[in-house]
Structure 1
Amino acid sequence: MKRREFIAGTAALFISPRPSHGQGKRRRLGFLAIGDGSGKALNQAELAFLDALRSLGWMEGKNLGIEYRFSQPADRLKDSVTELMALGPDILIAPGPQAALALQSATGTIPIVFVGVADPVQLGLVQSLSRPGGNITGMTTNVPDDFFAKRLEILRELVPGAFKIAVLVNPDNPLQKLYFAEEIPRIARSLGVALPLVPATTAEELDIAFASATAQQADAIIDFGDALTYAQAQRIIALAAKYHLPANYLFRHYANGGLSVYGADTADLFRRAGDYVDKILKGTKPADLPVQRPTKFVLIINMKTAKALGLTVPPSLLVRADEVIE
């Protein structure tokens, strides 16, 4: 842990949260998380959402109740949505595109706040980023520049001469389907590389995906980023080591063993989502809250993993890194 994060966390222990909002009816949130079915708890980034609510005076168990549902898309998703709707929540929270689309199909009136949806306009969740319309708003990972191409370029700096880079994808992710068809072929032509897709929709299929990347003689692999792969980070890191594949990941927690990370700071997105929930509970309509883009990004290089892979990290990349793990 960085020193400034430790100091900030320690100081928070001695600061009382803001006064709770009233002593009347307890407000209720519905939280729908979608992963591989193995996780039944919030991840580190999602916990920042609760921290943000507490700092704004919303205390779970006092003036706020949160109903959690953790679902695997193939089996429990429909039931989880039905259960949440039956509870009459004031606001629904949707981490990721699958959860957002599932909740959108269930209600056109209950406010929905999504987090981590790359292109909510393309998915039909909102009319535009500046004017969402309807009952949905939130935090996108969409950035103006071609972010995926930047991740590929970082990986190619780590692996000079890399031509074939496997892309780990989840075909069940609706946004990825759009990206596969439209953007990946264009990026491959633009960078002059081959980008074979290696799909996985379950934890078990991740092993097949990495074996496929090796069979296709990939020089490296890039995890496109998904609820499934987020939950299976350590398994993916182990597979990358097993098959000796240099990799780039989207989320910070992959840095614990993963070669490189470049992506939006998801904890910051969840903190900002907490602010939107506060505003909606106080009467603001989702349609009046523009979808927010990420403002914080992290580039992390794991030198220990680079050494194990026999890679020399160029100084130009180290200078740009927010964090270097020795």
Structure 2
Amino acid sequence: MKRREFIAGTAALFVSPRHSRAQGKRHRLGFLAVGDGSGKTLNKAELAFLDGLRSYGWIEGKNLIIEYRFSQPADRLAASVTNLIALSPDVLIAPGPQAAKALKSATATIPIVFVSVADPVRLGLVQSLSRPGGNMTGISTMVPDDFLEKRLEILRELVPGASKIALLVNPDNPMQRLYLAEGQISRTAQRLGVALLTVEATKAEELDLAFASAAAQHADAIIDWGDPLTYVEAPRIIALAAKYHLPANYLFRHYANGGLSVYGADIGDLFRRAADYVDKILKGTKPSDLPVERPTKFELIINLKTAKALGLTVPPSLLVRADEVIE
């Protein structure tokens, strides 16, 4: 053997296997998605997560395998969780409190990154925001101020004199259930001097009854608290608000396509930031060492076309504060 060939071959023994492992190993993610309502496709906010991963060099099909399972409708959740756990992924992604609770209960070892959970501490997902502990961390939607109170104030600016406002809730949502049980809703209503009545829906076919109940109780307006169910059923909810002539406030941007007003965290930004957690965990950081972060971007969107259809005049003070006005 020639000396040059011997040196090259020897070098390959030391360099190639390591290089091959670095380039060839594919990590596996388990994504318990909410979806776009079809039960098969990610929604726009969830797609931002994939953009975030690409910015860190994680490419699906190249160095990353992503297994998608869906949590909607709700009766699919248990099977989706079992499916994902059986795949032994390197990291699990949990959008929303139902998915986060379900995955937390299913594994204490696989790292979990949650997205869009209002208060993960009170829900028992983490020990504290700064020191999560355990196998879970992520991004909350919790802000220091009373977020619901701000949404109510926006509605009262749109509907001056509104004294009775319906709150659309999903009792199967553990975060909403906790807030209701603790009486926070009643305290918020008392501070603002309004009557807050709750109308419930745990599945799509119950939404019609919820809106009919709000109208029957003479609600002046309605707030969709925000939930995976109502997220995927946004078109139906917008249509029901129009049918019952109920001015509404929503949590997510995609409601602005026909919905009167939106105020909430930029969910796309939260999913994009979740990619940073995944990147760190895949590189060896433990979830317990990654503090839970809060939202930094919020959106106020007003739909003037819908306001006109409802006979409402949007005050200039609200238009000035809006991040986007749809005409």
Aligned to 2:195: 194
Deviates more, 1:289-298 or 1:175-184: 175-184
Give the CA deviation at 1:35. Answer: 6.9
Q: Would the aligned equivalents of 2:35 and 2:41 in 1 still touch at CA under 8 Å?
A: no
Residue 49 of structure 2 aligns to which amino acid in structure 1?
Answer: F
Kindly report which structure 2 residues correspond to 1:155-304, keeping only aligned pairs within 5 A, or say none.
155-181=155-181, 182-304=183-305
Decide whether aligned partners of structure 1 residues 323 and 36 sit closer, same or farther in structure 2, where only a CA change above 3 A counts: closer
Residue 266 of structure 2 aligns to which amino acid in structure 1?
Answer: D
Give the CA deviation at 1:252. Answer: 0.5
Aligned to 2:322: 321
Task: Name the CA distance, whole Å, in 2 between partners of 1:307 and 1:36.
Answer: 28
Decide whether aligned partners of structure 1 residues 155 and 192 sit closer, same or farther in structure 2, where only a CA change above 3 A counts: same
Task: Name the CA distance, whole Å, in 1 between partners of 2:97 and 2:71.
Answer: 13
SS at match of 2:172: coil
Give the CA deviation at 1:296. Answer: 0.1
Q: Would the aligned equivalents of 1:33 and 1:71 in 2 still touch at CA under 8 Å?
A: yes
Task: Name the CA distance, whole Å, in 2 between partners of 1:308 and 1:314.
Answer: 16
Task: Name the CA distance, whole Å, in 2 between partners of 1:59 and 1:294.
Answer: 25
Q: Would the aligned equivalents of 1:81 and 1:102 in 2 still touch at CA under 8 Å?
A: yes
Using the aligned pairs only, state the percent identity.
81
Deviations 1:228-274 (A, max 9, x none): 00001111001000110000000000000000000000000000001
Number of matched pairs = 306
* TM-score, normalization by structure 1: 0.92
Task: Name the CA distance, whole Å, in 2 between partners of 1:46 and 1:36.
Answer: 9
Task: Name the CA distance, whole Å, in 2 between partners of 1:186 and 1:139.
Answer: 26
SS at match of 1:22: helix
Task: Name the CA distance, whole Å, in 2 between partners of 1:235 and 1:168.
Answer: 13
Q: Would the aligned equivalents of 1:237 and 1:258 in 2 still touch at CA under 8 Å?
A: yes
Query: Which structure 1 segments of 5+ residues have no match?
Result: 1-20
Task: Name the CA distance, whole Å, in 2 between partners of 1:35 and 1:214.
Answer: 30
Query: Which structure 2 segments of 5+ residues have no match?
Result: 1-20
Decide whether aligned partners of structure 1 residues 36 and 299 sit closer, same or farther in structure 2, where only a CA change above 3 A counts: closer
Aligned to 2:83: 83
Q: CA RMSD in A?
A: 1.3
Give the CA deviation at 1:39. Answer: 2.5
Q: Would the aligned equivalents of 1:35 and 1:73 in 2 still touch at CA under 8 Å?
A: no
Give the CA deviation at 1:97. Answer: 0.5
Q: Would the aligned equivalents of 1:36 and 1:72 in 2 still touch at CA under 8 Å?
A: no
- When Rg is computed on C-alpha atoms for both structures, the one with the higher figure is 2
Residue 57 of structure 1 aligns to which amino acid in structure 2?
Answer: G
Decide whether aligned partners of structure 1 residues 198 and 247 sit closer, same or farther in structure 2, where only a CA change above 3 A counts: same
Q: Does 1:312 pair with 2:313?
A: yes
SS at match of 2:271: helix
Deviates more, 1:136-145 or 1:36-45: 36-45
Q: Would the aligned equivalents of 1:36 and 1:202 in 2 still touch at CA under 8 Å?
A: no
